[in-house]
Amino acid sequence: MLDMKFVRENPELVKENIKKKFQDEKLVMVDEVIDLDQKKRQAQQEADDLRSQRNKISKQIGALMGQGKKEEAEEVKKQVAAFAERLTELEGLEKEYDEELLKRMMVIPNIIDPSVPIGKDDSENVEVTKYGEPVVPEFEIPYHTEIMERFDGIDLDAAGRVAGNGFYYLMGDIARLHSAVISYARDFMIDRGFTYCVPPFMIRSNVVTGVMSFAEMDAMMYKIEGEDLFLIGTSEHSMIGKFIDTITPEAELPKTLTSYSPCFRKEKGAHGIEERGVYRIHQFEKQEMIVVCKPEESPMWFDKLWQNTVDLFRSMDIPVRTLECCSGDLADLKVKSFDVEAWSPRQKKYFEVGSCSNLGDAQARRLKIRVKDEEGKKYFAHTLNNTVVAPPRMLIAFLENHLQEDGSVTIPEVLRPYMGGKEVLVPKK
């Protein structure tokens, strides 16, 4: 959410930003919030003036009564009563203006970084850098669920009977590989100085609206019936929520945390054939990283965060690339975002395995995450998040890049301690 003072002083800049995000239907909101803000401030000023006048003449009532001037005192009382009636009206107007103002401010997009490429959707995202050499083997690589089935490692039919589409049972070596990757990612981030955390897997509605836009919320979140609780779509939600309504001494920044959680997503909308199996599902597990920092440090942390994911995948011999999200592909709260994509030898293309975002002070402003400097001045922090690794999607990249012609799967050295020392997985079928 933008600062109202910024919108008031820079309406054309805010409108230009909306155009860059191809959300022209929101242009009218800029003038609407400026008008509502003016009406609200006028109501506040009138209310303040009335309170001041009421206080002054209220003091006269006792003096007049003491002088025996009851009729004059009664007239003053009527004036005070009229002031009180008008104040009640003004307070109602202030509340009404506040609610309408907030409703619009919550959907006006954040100001994107000047370096963000302009484009309508993800088809116009821009490749930044490739890491590792993509390889297409001479033998045919089966679909990822077929690879897993050769190890008796997945049961989608049973999951469908138990929970419906979009769920899975992982078993045996595949389930162990899934857990190994999560454990390795946890230790990888701890070694890079991040504090490990297991957060709540449910959050209240005020946290949900603090960390994402209404459109994202509707498309992603599962609501707990009868309670003010939602299942998290990613641990970023509860990790950023950890700092709600807090004031952190500047000397304690940055806060660098890495968290494990299951994630639950509606995944509304139709998806292509490549999203069969375990690519796009309602439940998965993830290792995440978040940073709360000073505004001037957020660009530096953004580069560090996506590099962590690149380094993790390269340590497991998986080629990746970074892709910068264009303006039209950025969620409303984001200032800048990179996707990390892993190479798929079967598809002969890259696919998304992680997303790194700088949200500026948008989440901090909504959640009142503030910082106090040495002089006692308070300001809003900047927040960032990034996927460390999200199996089982990551397993697709792992299995395809480490599959051998005989059907076995090699285990890179960094994962072997988490796999009981195994160097290779041998199929059962």
Give the residue among 84, 101, 21 at the shortest CA–CA distance from 47: 84
pLDDT for the residue 264: 95
**In this structure, what token pair is assigned to residue 269?**
């909308």
Per-residue pLDDT of the chain (429 residues; tens, 9 = 90+): 899 999 999 999 999 999 999 999 999 999 999 999 999 999 999 888 888 877 777 666 656 566 666 777 667 677 777 778 888 889 899 999 999 999 999 999 999 999 999 999 999 999 999 999 999 999 999 999 999 999 999 999 999 999 998 899 999 999 999 999 999 999 999 999 999 999 999 999 999 999 998 778 888 899 999 999 999 999 999 999 999 999 999 999 999 999 999 999 997 654 554 557 898 899 999 999 999 999 999 999 999 999 999 999 999 999 999 999 999 999 999 999 999 999 999 999 999 999 999 999 999 999 999 999 999 999 999 999 999 999 988 999 999 999 999 999 999 999 999 999 999 999 998
Same-domain status, 201 and 88: no
Same-domain status, 241 and 386: yes
Same-domain status, 75 and 215: no
What are the residues facing 371 on neighbouring strands?
248, 379
State phi, psi for 273 to the nearest 5 degrees: -65, -30
Going by the DSSP 8-state scheme, the letter that residue 78 receives in this structure is: H
Same-domain status, 98 and 201: no
pLDDT for the residue 82: 78
What are the residues facing 380 on neighbouring strands?
370
The pTM of the full predicted model, rounded to 2 decimals, is 0.90
Going by the DSSP 8-state scheme, the letter that residue 120 receives in this structure is: S
- Total tally of structural domains belonging to the chain: 2
**In this structure, what token pair is assigned to residue 81?**
């009563």
Same-domain status, 92 and 127: no
| Residue located via tokens 């302009």 | 118
Contacting residues for 367 by C-beta, under 8 A, at least 6 apart = 207, 210, 211, 240, 241, 243, 244, 245
In a domain, 113, yes or no: no
Same-domain status, 313 and 177: yes
Distance, in Å, from the CA atom of 34 to the CA atom of 22, rounded to the nearest integer, reads 21
Asked if 136 and 348 count as a contact pair (C-beta separation under 8 A), the reply is yes
Q: Is the peptide bond before 299 cis (omega within 30 degrees of 0)?
A: no
The 3-state DSSP class for residue 127 equals strand
pLDDT for the residue 71: 72
pLDDT for the residue 59: 62
Q: Which of 105, 139, 166 is the last residue of a domain?
A: 105
Range of the domain at 65: 4-105
State phi, psi for 298 to the nearest 5 degrees: -65, -35
Distance, in Å, from the CA atom of 382 to the CA atom of 363, rounded to the nearest integer, reads 8
Q: Which of 54, 74, 105 is the last residue of a domain?
A: 105
In a domain, 393, yes or no: yes
pLDDT for the residue 54: 73
Separation in Å, CA 59 to CA 46, 88, 337: 20, 21, 60
In a domain, 110, yes or no: no
Same-domain status, 59 and 171: no
Same-domain status, 238 and 358: yes
Tell how far CA 410 is from the center of its chain: 35
In a domain, 132, yes or no: yes
Same-domain status, 386 and 318: yes
